[in-house]
Amino acid sequence: MHIHILGICGTFMGSLAVLAKELGHTVSGSDANVYPPMSTQLEEQGIQLCEGFDPGHLQPHPDLVVVGNAMSRGNPAVEYVLNQGLPYCSGPEWLSRFVLQGRWVLAVAGTHGKTTTSAMLAWILEYAGMNPGYLIGGVLKNFPVSARLGGSDFFVVEADEYDSAFFDKRSKFVHYRPRTLILNNLEYDHADIFPDLASIQRQFHHLIRIVPGEGLIIRPRFDEALAQVLEQGCWTPTQSFALLDDARDDARPEPSGWGVRLLQADGGVCDISKTSHQGKTVSARLAWSLSGRHNVCNAVAAIAAAHHVGVDLQVACEALGKFASVKRRMELLGEVRGIRVYDDFAHHPTAIETTLDGIRQRLNDIPGSRLIAVIEPRSATMKMGVHQSCLAASCRAADLCLWMSGAGNGLDIDGIIAESPVPALNFNSVDDIVAYLSRHCRAGDHIVIMSNGGFGGIHGKLLAALA
């Protein structure tokens, strides 16, 4: 079968292309922006890439067109598909029909941490010798590609709540039919397609409705938005997880629940335990390279999901001790003259706050270290000003925060700076930020660059300027 993918260079659609190729199909694709790293991965797989959306890319006619959710009516390729009556489907529908059918799907959903938790779960299963299939929307350091079919019934998928296609406005994850489901957290996001939190909760309840009664839902113990979703109806057993030093906790996990006790403030060493309905507790120690309470929560969720399919707790902790994370998640890009530069994907106030807090906990023991946050408010939700009231406070763990203004940005950066609990500055260009940092940074500084885009190549420019 010849499959042509519209919007092939997105992380999700590019991963679909890898799976289709592995299934033995002839695969080609079109996109407006064909660039590394996804273009490199696809070309290495022998997948033909076409720049732009010329209808000529669809001649001769493929057997099936898979339409990415970035495609809309008016796009020349989309109009050609409809006018010619070519067979088409969404990416999530293709994944469900051709890959997930008959498999034990382990899905990771939530506002934050989906990519990292999915990568942790896939790696735990791999380390345990279970050879899982997976599709994860990021560049994985423990695996050579972002998706594979695997050699077992188990398949790990990052389950996104974003819509499926212009003709299917349901969330992607309703196509996946998970048997093991992680719900990491739930906050308001994606303001470009969801008018309010309740509309996102409705999609999450659609997901809960399709988890079998013999499956498992893993959830945080203290997430009110998710609790409200479960109260709408749940037909599947649940297991909760919580940090046991949380002030709201009574220092005991729920029956059949998971608990984490931090032995280092940064989360680098912790004890993870599971309590059964009979009150029996088993535990193991996790010592790893990641930091932050959010990553510890991601870890225990992944461990609980792996445990559901038979992975021993001790083996899971050993696996995470060798976990190399995902690119663009507090990724150290380089160190020049004692100044460290990191890249992070954070683009929501909660993600910004937890990421900065995680590294702050490590720096507290290093005298003279400064934490500098450089933030590009780039997501649609950010640009619409939805998070205006909480962005300033999200940076309180930093010593200095540099904000990038954007053309047509509905966010009031000056207002954020006025409310900032730490020194903050506003910049109109990447070059101005680089010039400022190269003049004012010193040995011991940790610079965390946060954006869900390329940020104008600031990472390479900054490292070059510091050198």
pLDDT in tens, 363-374: 887 888 899 999
- The overall average pLDDT reported for the chain is 90
Q: In what order do the strands lie in the sheet with 26-31?
A: 48-51, 26-31, 2-6, 64-67, 88-90
Distance between CA atoms of residues 39 and 28, nearest Å: 12
Comparing 258 with 409, which gets the higher pLDDT?
258
pLDDT score, position 291: 83
- Rounded CA gap, 250 and 106, in Å? 30
73 vs 249: which has the higher pLDDT: 73
- Which residues are 20's β-sheet partners? none
Q: What local confidence, expressed as pLDDT, does residue 278 receive? A: 73
Alpha carbon of 106 to those of 157, 161, 221, 375, 398: distances in Å?
Answer: 6, 15, 20, 33, 36
- Does the pLDDT of residue 145 top 60, yes or no? yes
pLDDT mean over 110-137:
95
Cα gap 351→328, rounded to integer Å: 13
- Cα distances (Å, whole numbers) of residue 104 to 131, 161, 239, 365: 13, 20, 18, 44
Please determine, for residue 382, whether its predicted confidence score (pLDDT) is greater than 70.
yes
Domain with CATH 3.40.50.720 in the chain: 2-91
Rounded mean pLDDT, 93-118: 95
Rounded Cα distance between 442 and 451, Å, is 23
Angle at 450 between CA 110 and CA 203, to 5 degrees: 20
Contact of 336 with 466, CB cutoff 8 Å = yes
Greater confidence (405 vs 300) lies with 300
- Beta-carbon-side half-sphere exposure of residue 258 (alpha carbons within 13 Å): 27
Could you tell me the pLDDT band of residue 452, with boundaries at 50, 70 and 90?
confident
Mean pLDDT over 268-289 rounds to 88
CATH number for the domain formed by residue range(s) 102-321: 3.40.1190.10
Q: Tell me which of 222 and 106 has the higher pLDDT.
A: 106
Query: Which residues share a beta bridge with 4?
Result: 28, 65
- pLDDT above 70: residue 281: yes
- pLDDT of 71 strictly over 70: yes
With 70 as the cut, is the pLDDT of residue 258 above it?
A: yes
Q: What are the start-end ranges of the H helices in 210-348?
A: 224-231, 293-308, 313-321
Quick: pLDDT tens for 389-422: 788 888 998 999 999 886 556 788 888 888 899 9
The whole-angstrom separation of Cα 439 and Cα 444 is: 15
pLDDT band for position 385 (cuts 50, 70, 90): confident
**Owner of token pair 């997948």:** 47
Question: Are the CB atoms for 342 and 332 separated by under 8 Å?
Answer: yes
pLDDT of residue 57: 96
Judged by average pLDDT, the poorest of 92-101, 178-187, 287-296 is 287-296
Share of the chain above pLDDT 90, in %: 64
Peptide bond before 60: cis, by omega within 30 degrees of 0?
Answer: yes
Q: Which CATH architecture has domain 331-466?
A: Alpha-Beta Complex (3.90)
What is the average per-residue pLDDT within 278-291?
88
pLDDT value of position 244:
85
Q: What is the pLDDT of residue 164?
A: 96
CA–CA distance, 5 with 368 (Å, rounded to integer):
51
Which residues have C-beta within 8 Å of that of residue 460, sequence separation ≥ 6?
Answer: none
Q: Is the model more confident about 351 or about 447? A: 447
pLDDT above 80 for 270: yes
- In words, the CATH class of domain 2-91 is alpha beta
Q: How confident is the model at residue 247 (pLDDT cuts 50, 70, 90)?
A: very low
Tokens of 426: 């506003």
Least confident stretch, 123-127, 285-289, 314-318, 388-392:
388-392
Domain with CATH 3.90.190.20 in the chain: 331-466
Looking at residue 250, its pLDDT comes to 52
If one compares 245 and 153, the residue with the highest pLDDT of the two is: 153
The β-bridge partners of 108 are 158, 182
181 against 419, higher pLDDT: 181
